Amino acid sequence: MLDQKLNKFLHENQVSFIRDISLLVAQPSVSARSQGIDECAELVRRMTEEIGADTRIIKIDSSAPIIYGEVSSTLSKKTILFYNHYDVQPEEPLEKWESPPFKPEVRGEKLYGRGTSDDKGELVARLKVVESFIKVHGQPPCNIKFCFEGEEETGSLHLNEYIGQNQDLFRADAVIWEGGGAIDDSGTPIVTLGLKGMLAVEFILKTISTDAHSMYAPVLPSAPWKLVRMLSLITNKKGEIMIPEWNQKIRTLTDEEVNVLNNQPFNAETILRTYGVDDLPPGMSNSDARKALVDGPTANISGIWAGYTGPGIKSVLPAEAHCRMDFRLASDQDPKEQKERLRSYLDNNGFKDIQMSVISSLSPARTNYRDPFVKAAVDAGDEVFQRKTITRLSDPGSGPMFVFRQRYEVPVVSLGISHTGALIHAPNEHIRLDLLENGMLWIARTISNFASM
């Protein structure tokens, strides 16, 4: 049973919602270069206050502020917390944007701009859903909390500390995650129950005090060669991670989880085509690929550099070699344990002299698909979109979901207003305006469903 009054209000105020999203998108907030973060935080605080929430800014040292918001309800003792972020990815390459990234523009039923989907559009949609409840009914169906952070795109380095220091403030019975890409391109809603974890490290290897002429190669140790030797031990030819006990804490999926996985429509073809690749890796089927994206640990080289990389030729024996790797973690893999495993493996194989620093450390997180809150979200999706909602055990990406999921032992699910083809992190990021109203209804209905359970 849909809430007709709320439905009508959401329908009649679409233009004003788009204006609000545009307002936030127009304030640059690129955490990677600390651009506009404080200004954007203040704008978010004001927008949160304007819907009728009590707000608080929480800031540790020079990190990006967290905006906390709270709207209480007399209708239910339950509390839902919304996690979103107001920082965005850098807009480069600028020349590939058809309109300026920080001047939001509507073209053909789409709103373009950096952060329209990830995650300012989602953030504003949640605020406006709660505001709509207040305007229509005087209050939301249950207590609402907001947690808006400004460092998500740089690895949420302080979030766990923030929440740990304000344990009671952020306590909730369920969490709705940031929600990007929650509607597939055909208009089917997707509820996502988990995120992979991540251990990202930077290696620095110095073998000689200064770059040498490469004629000395017979007698001087080479940093890039040593790095190549080290990397070639981390994975084997098939790409499998060779670090002892690395996969020890990957749980076998239960039969029921396998069932959920098998019901998730997936065509690897779509990804392969996007990147101009003909086939999956040898021996990998489409369903293997689906499982690996949900549950498979990875070892990725995100950057490597040494020596002379400019034009022309310079026969140098490089003094240093650098490499960054990100390891996606699944199930119960713990980034701190994995770091120790990696370090020991390198030490035991003759690479004690390689410096390794952690640049990102996120635990995996996953909500049990049988949790009632999952049903609340799935039922809401079915109802609003009139389609069978897809349930995904996990996104292939990573994020700080564990901060809430593990600390409070509450369900966390991701749903929202934006579609999978929204070009997040890329030029011409956008949201589809034809999905905005249903996306907001979906959020509203999930809140109502949960409150009345």
* 35-64: contacts with its own copies (CB under 8 A): none
Give residue for tokens 């999905």.
435
By C-beta, is 124 or 317 nearer to its own copies? 317
Site for its own copies in 274-313 (CB under 8 A): 275-277, 280-281, 284, 289, 292-293, 296, 298-309, 312-313
Burial 327-347 (b: 16+ CB within 10 A, else e): bbbbbebbbebbbebbbebbe
Question: Minimum distance from CB of 210 to its own copies (Å)?
Answer: 7
- Least distance to its own copies, CB of residue 246, Å: 15
Are the C-beta atoms of residues 193 and 320 closer than 8 Å to each other?
no
321 binds its own copies (CB under 8 A): yes
Site for its own copies in 381-400 (CB under 8 A): 395-398
Q: Which is nearer to its own copies, 54 or 269 (CB)?
A: 269
Q: With contacts defined by CB under 8 A, name the span among 79-87, 205-213, 243-251, 430-438 that binds its own copies.
A: 205-213
What residues pair up with 81 in beta bridges, in sequence order? 145, 175
Which candidate, 386, 368, 390, places its Cα nearest to that of 378?
Answer: 390
Q: Which stretch binds its own copies (CB under 8 A): 6-14, 43-51, 193-201, 433-441?
A: 193-201
3-class DSSP assignment, residue 165: helix
Question: With binding defined as CB under 8 A, does residue 15 bind its own copies?
Answer: no
Give the shortest CB-396-to-its own copies separation in angstroms.
Answer: 4
Cα(102)–Cα(116) distance, integer angstroms: 10
**Residues 316, 415: Cα–Cα separation, whole Å:** 52
Binders of its own copies among 135-164, rule CB under 8 A? Answer: 154-155
Residues 219-278 that bind its own copies (CB under 8 A): 219-222, 224-225, 228-229, 231-232, 235, 237, 239, 268, 271-272, 275-277
Nearer Cβ to its own copies (72/420) = 420
What is the edge-to-edge ordering of all strands in the sheet holding 105-107? 105-107, 110-112, 430-432
Angle at 35 between CA 31 and CA 37, to 5 degrees: 70
Q: In the complex, what is the shortest distance from the CB of residue 234 to its own copies, in angstroms, rounded to a whole number?
A: 9
Instruction: Identify the residue among 45, 85, 114, 328 touching its own copies (CB under 8 A).
Output: 328
Binding mask 346-385 for its own copies (x = CB under 8 A): -------------xx-------------------------
The C-alpha R_g of the chain, in whole angstroms, comes to: 23
In angstroms, the CA 386 to CA 402 distance is 31
Rounded CA separation 204/347 (Å): 14
Antiparallel, parallel or unpaired: β 110-112 and 430-432: antiparallel
Q: Which of 380, 359, 358 is nearest to 447 (CA)?
A: 380
Site string for its own copies, 169-188 (x = CB under 8 A): --------------------
